[in-house]
Amino acid sequence: MELLLEKRELLSIDGDAEGLTLRCLDGELWLTQAGDSRDHILKRGDGFTVRKRGLIQVLAGAEARVRMEERTRVAKPSMGWQLGWG
């Protein structure tokens, strides 16, 4: 699934998203994950694969396109996502 995020728009992914890859197709994304003290900056072509459970927040620094690529294992029904504006 591809999403177009406007400047400062926030994508939140909660639940078991382990194995999901977020790929920046255009623009720049700032990604944080609960329990991870590092911030991840994704630019065009960069990807981030979720390795553990926990809230993930993705903020668009400017208009950006992000692709949520299928996991490599069976999805659990507890994963959810929502969009918001900061």
Spell out the domain ranges in the chain.
2-70
Q: How far is CA 33 from CA 73, 77, 81, in A?
A: 20, 20, 14
Q: What is the pLDDT along the chain (86 residues), one digit of tens a residue?
A: 999 999 999 999 987 888 899 999 999 999 999 888 899 999 999 999 988 888 999 999 999 999 999 766 545 545 566 666 65
**Which sign does the torsion angle of CA 44, 46, 49, 55 carry?**
negative
Distance CA 85, CA 11 (A): 8
The pTM (predicted TM-score) of the whole model is 0.77
Q: Which residues contact 73 (CB under 8 A, 6 or more apart)?
A: 18, 19
The CATH number of the domain covering residues in 2-70:
2.60.120.10
